[in-house]
Amino acid sequence: MLSIKSISKTFAGRTLFADACLQINRRDRIGVVGRNGAGKSTLFSIILGETTPDSGVVALERGAKIGFLPQESAPTGEESVIELVCAVSREFIKAALNLGALGKAKGAEPSDEDYEVFESAGGARLIAKGRQILSGLSFKDNDFDRPAKELSGGWIMRAHLARLLVMEPDLLMLDEPTNHLDLDSLIWLQGYLQNYPGAILLISHDREFLNLLVRHVVELEGAQATRYTGNYESYLIQRAANEAQRLAAYENQQKEIERLMKFVDRFRSKNTKATQAQSKLKQIERMEKIDAPFISAKKIKFSFPQPERSGQRVIALKELAKTYGDLEVYKSLNLEIERHQRIVLVGPNGAGKSTLLKILAEVIDFDSGERELGHNVQPGYFAQHRADTLNLNRTVLEEMLDTRASVTEQAARTLLGNFLFSDDDVFKKVGVLSGGEKSRLALAKLLLNPPNFLLLDEPTTHLDMGSIDMLIDALSQFNGTMVFISHDVHFIRKIASHVIHVERGKLKHYPGPYNYYLEKTGQQASRATETSLESGFSVKGSAGLKREDGKARKRREAEARQALSKKRKSQQTLIDKSEVRITLLEKRQLEISSLLEQAETYSAGGQAQQLNRELMEINDELEKLNDRWSVAVDALNAIT
């Protein structure tokens, strides 16, 4: 569908792409990864035609449509939210408004052409789809007719995402689509995109999102676009094997060049050997030189300072009430948090998670009730506005060192480097940093002198995967107490020891990690479904449906369950067999890569060539198996 052939692009003397190629087919699911500055945004810009490559060709199949969601800022006009989402064309919106399909009729009396335009574009079905998608992204019914320009930036981005999902372009390009979503919306989006009919090309720092969605990963590195088959975790394994192989080949070539040069240096001045020395020089010149490979940065260990020990009871909220005008958020709320608990707050958008976090941090007042802080408890609240407390006239390094903690300049620079402040970045004035950079700086500074009661609101926003891993490492060492909100499932899995579900002013505590919460909520959903089926009504429920004859209903349900079980078992068997074979092949892949790193492999005649041939065969089989596994997983998800 889209073919990128031999593109090259240089910016300010720096080569981003050199003869790079990429093929995108229909229904591909591709994640684009790479270091900051590797060219991810430039690649998107080239595909969209906003940037022209220095050479090469970008060819899009005739009639194919591209839809793009930028990372930040998208335009809005005077339209309502539902008008923005359903704007597949100006003519459709005009016709829908004239017909009163988007609320009260506006404009001229509807014409025959209005009816024709409305129906040909999808009509009421398209508008119903728009409403369904908006609901999935946590919009409420009374938001649909609001002017879009009244929304905050994050909600505007959600509306534009909904618009793209309604339009269903052949190639959906998403740049950090999860940044503005809460956990419920993110989970809904993952499920929706798994059944998306077109191709998806996305940039994301959300590891779990990539693992669940993509079937291929394109890594931008060394001015090339290298494609890997499988999800993100599979890509990491393959990349490690490739790095080892490239490094071994590079080192062996360097050893060979060094050996030949020793001969040249020793005999070039001797008449009897000069011809041979010259021959060795030409041999070196004829070699196709292997570039020194880029080896992904190893995880830097950093010893984080630990806070003072608090009392066993960290905080208690008793009979607490909180309202915003006429909106009652909490009434008679009770909560007690103990030392060392790591609690993630989950629940639908607008349920009151951020309000609860701010009450715990004493950032906002409440109407009635009590808030009792435990012995020696020092709360520390991290949110976007925390960046506003930074001194804009200091450099990044000066601001970092302005802490009560005893820390060396080298330690501060090491931590800054892991939060994407490298080299001369540390000498920039804080005042010139972007909002995301200020947020990262505030988070890094917080880790240098952490309080013993951490309250974090979406701490992974603006962080890349390496920085998120660094934050996970820091918080794993943290021996205090923590309450946080996050939509990054990988981060939640690594950090949370307890889950509190917040909805309609009520808290439900799950005393276990995120998987425990999923297991318990899954069981509850299953019981609800069984109860609904036993009642003789549809799971969705409808007062208008009549109760079936008992025997007929039970027989129908039993047959449906058996058919579903058979399909599920068939797909699960295929998945299990594929995973066993993939595991064996990946194990052999690593063994071969290890052998190719050893110098003695190249001294045994033909062994290196044989191993390389076997590795290529394994890579080919893995690609086919991963494709087969992806199709089976999609089928199983659809059945489920």
Per-residue pLDDT for 313 more than 90? Answer: yes
Per-residue pLDDT for 287 more than 80? Answer: yes
If asked whether residues 14 and 148 sit together in one domain, one would say: no
Q: Is the pTM of this model over 0.75?
A: no
Confidence of residue 386 (pLDDT cuts 50, 70, 90): low
Q: Is 237 contained in some domain?
A: no
If asked whether residues 344 and 279 sit together in one domain, one would say: no
Which CATH number covers residue 578? Answer: 1.10.287
Q: Which of 74-78, 193-197, 204-208, 302-306 has the lowest mean pLDDT?
A: 302-306
- C-alpha 518, offset from chain centre: 20
Residues 6+ apart with CB under 8 A from 230: 215, 216, 217, 238, 622, 626
Q: Using CA atoms, how far apart are residues 331 and 323, in angstroms rounded to an integer?
A: 8
Q: Is 446 contained in some domain?
A: yes
If asked whether residues 504 and 355 sit together in one domain, one would say: yes
Q: Is 35 contained in some domain?
A: no
If asked whether residues 337 and 279 sit together in one domain, one would say: no
Q: Is 305 contained in some domain?
A: no
* Each residue's pLDDT tens digit, 412-424: 888 888 777 877 8
Last residue of a domain, one of 127, 143, 170: 170
Q: Quick one: what percent of the chain has pLDDT higher than 70?
A: 88
* Each residue's pLDDT tens digit, 535-584: 333 333 333 333 445 566 566 666 666 777 777 778 788 877 887 788 78
If asked whether residues 495 and 394 sit together in one domain, one would say: yes
Other CB atoms within 10 Å distance of the CB of residue 592: 20
Per-residue pLDDT for 7 more than 90? Answer: yes
Terminal Cα-to-Cα distance of the chain (whole angstroms): 30
If asked whether residues 84 and 53 sit together in one domain, one would say: no
Residues 6+ apart with CB under 8 A from 237: 586, 589, 590
Confidence of residue 532 (pLDDT cuts 50, 70, 90): very low
Total domains in the chain come to 5
If asked whether residues 359 and 492 sit together in one domain, one would say: yes
Average pLDDT of the segment spanning 325-348: 92
Q: Are 18 and 54 in contact (CB under 8 A)?
A: no
Average pLDDT along the chain? 83
If asked whether residues 164 and 136 sit together in one domain, one would say: yes
What are the Cα distances from residue 438, in Å, to 396, 475, 564?
A: 9, 20, 52
Per-residue pLDDT for 317 more than 60? Answer: yes
Q: Is 601 contained in some domain?
A: yes
Last residue of a domain, one of 519, 535, 569: 519
If asked whether residues 84 and 166 sit together in one domain, one would say: yes
Q: Is 540 contained in some domain?
A: no
If asked whether residues 448 and 504 sit together in one domain, one would say: yes
Q: Is 139 contained in some domain?
A: yes
Burial of 530 (0-12, 13-18, 19+ CB in 10 A): exposed
Give exposure, 531-540, as e/b (b: 16+ Cβ within 10 Å): eebeeebeee
Average pLDDT of the segment spanning 189-204: 93
Tell me the residue range of the domain where 5 lies: 1-27+44-64
If asked whether residues 60 and 81 sit together in one domain, one would say: no
If asked whether residues 493 and 589 sit together in one domain, one would say: no
Cα dihedral 435, 437, 441, 443, rounded to 10, equals: 70
* Each residue's pLDDT tens digit, 392-441: 899 999 988 887 777 788 888 888 887 778 778 899 998 888 777 887 88
Q: Is 396 contained in some domain?
A: yes
